[in-house]
Amino acid sequence: MGWWKPQGTEVVIGDVPLDLLAAAFNRVVDEYREEFERSPTRAEWEALLRIIFENPDAHPPRLNEPGQVVAVRIETDVGENPS
């Protein structure tokens, strides 16, 4: 794939973290398709991410650094729920 340097950080992100995150997202989509016969909506993705980042006591501490996540917002140029 490649390497990316996100705006506002000194870190360069490589393939492995992105592959791991993509695999996790695919598992969530698979779960939704099994349970609800559809993919998660944009609002559901935002809620899932917000819950993870805003509740440090409910998730592994390595995911959360208090005060780091201010908001979670997903924008796309496609429809709300393109399965």
For 9-67, write each residue's pLDDT tens digit.
788 888 888 888 899 999 999 999 999 999 999 899 988 888 877 776 666 655 556 65
Cα dihedral 7→12→16→18 (10° resolution): 10
pTM of the model: 0.67
Q: Which residue has the tokens 């980042």?
A: 53
> In the structure encoding, which two tokens stand for residue 26, read together?
């695919």
> What count of other Cβ atoms lies within 10 Å of the Cβ of residue 53?
18
Could you tell me the sign of the dihedral formed by the alpha carbons of 5, 6, 7, 12, in that order?
A: negative
